[in-house]
């Protein structure tokens, strides 16, 4: 049965790597795929992994209609068995609905990869629609770690190492950003809610005092 699967997690947990591995494994068994992405750090029209691999992909613009594109390709005689859709949190809810129709009407597998939540811990609209429509949601098993050693569960946006909560939802960037530039850091919930990045909490800068009760304990 064809499926819409959403592989999700934080930044730096291996989503793009898994996307490329899945494309490779399906192609190795003779299946034909199409790759899509949006706003990859490596530039337009590429799926790139921090492990060094990169492949060409169709850039998903707001105008792209997945169902129409695939209907046209299949009608023209092309063979397509599956889609790899990276950075899927940036797709519109309508595009996610088109992906579900590609599965149901055209019988293709759709493997989507993306963040669940943004730097304010809110769902991206595209991720919300994927959580609502996917046949399966797989949370990646490779855990990015918070500076404190706990599992990293939330993405913080940073400027000069300090967490920021203002700004556009979409700002392309990396977990290894140059000083002074917008970057990202994966934190546990406790440290995300307190705004404690490695710069502040992990390197001896003054952190929040313990709550009064805890100090007494």
Ligand X SMILES: Cc1cn([C@H]2C[C@H](O)[C@@H](COP(=O)(O)O)O2)c(=O)[nH]c1=O
Hey, which residues are catalytic here? 87
Task: Count CA atoms closer than 13 A to 165's CA, side-chain side.
Answer: 10
User: What does 171 interact with, of ligand ADP, ligand X, none (CB < 5 to 8 A by kind)?
Assistant: ligand X
Distance CA 118, CA 97 (A): 21
Comparison of 16 and 197: residue with beta carbon closer to ligand ADP: 16
Distance CA 19, CA 6 (A): 11
Q: Rule CB under 6 A: is residue 51 a binding residue for ligand ADP?
A: yes
Q: Rule CB under 6 A: is residue 54 a binding residue for ligand X?
A: no
Q: Is 32 annotated as a binding residue?
A: no
Q: Rule CB under 6 A: is residue 12 a binding residue for ligand ADP?
A: yes
User: What does 173 interact with, of ligand ADP, ligand X, none (CB < 5 to 8 A by kind)?
Assistant: ligand X
Q: Rule CB under 6 A: is residue 13 a binding residue for ligand ADP?
A: yes
Comparison of 70 and 158: residue with beta carbon closer to ligand ADP: 158
Interface region with ligand ADP, contact rule CB under 6 A, candidates 5-13, 150-158, 186-194, 202-210: 5-13
Closest CB 105 distance from ligand ADP, rounded Å: 29
Q: Rule CB under 6 A: is residue 17 a binding residue for ligand ADP?
A: yes
Interface region with ligand X, contact rule CB under 6 A, candidates 74-82, 100-108, 112-120, 132-140: 112-120
């Amino acid at each position: 049965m064809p499926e819409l699967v959403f592989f999700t997690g934080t930044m730096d947990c291996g989503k793009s790597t898994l996307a490329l591995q899945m494309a490779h494994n399906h192609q190795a068994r003779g299946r034909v795929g199409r790759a899509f992405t949006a706003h990859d750090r490596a530039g337009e029209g590429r799926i790139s992994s921090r492990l060094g691999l990169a492949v060409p992909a169709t850039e998903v613009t707001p105008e792209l209609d997945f169902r129409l594109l695939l209907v046209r390709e299949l009608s023209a005689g092309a063979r397509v068995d599956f889609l790899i859709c990276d950075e899927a949190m940036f797709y519109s809810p309508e595009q996610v609905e088109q992906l579900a129709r590609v599965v149901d009407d055209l019988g293709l597998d759709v493997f989507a990869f993306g963040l669940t939540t943004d730097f304010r811990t809110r769902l991206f609209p595209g991720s919300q629609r994927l959580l609502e429509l996917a046949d399966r949601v797989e949370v990646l098993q490779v855990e990015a770690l918070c500076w404190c050693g706990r599992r990293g569960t939330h993405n913080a946006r940073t400027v000069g190492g300090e967490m920021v909560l203002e700004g556009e939802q979409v700002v392309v960037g990396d977990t290894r950003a140059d000083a002074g530039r917008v970057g990202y850091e994966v934190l546990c919930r406790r440290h995300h809610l307190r705004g404690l990045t490695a710069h502040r909490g992990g390197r001896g800068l003054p952190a929040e005092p313990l709550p009064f009760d805890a100090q007494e304990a």
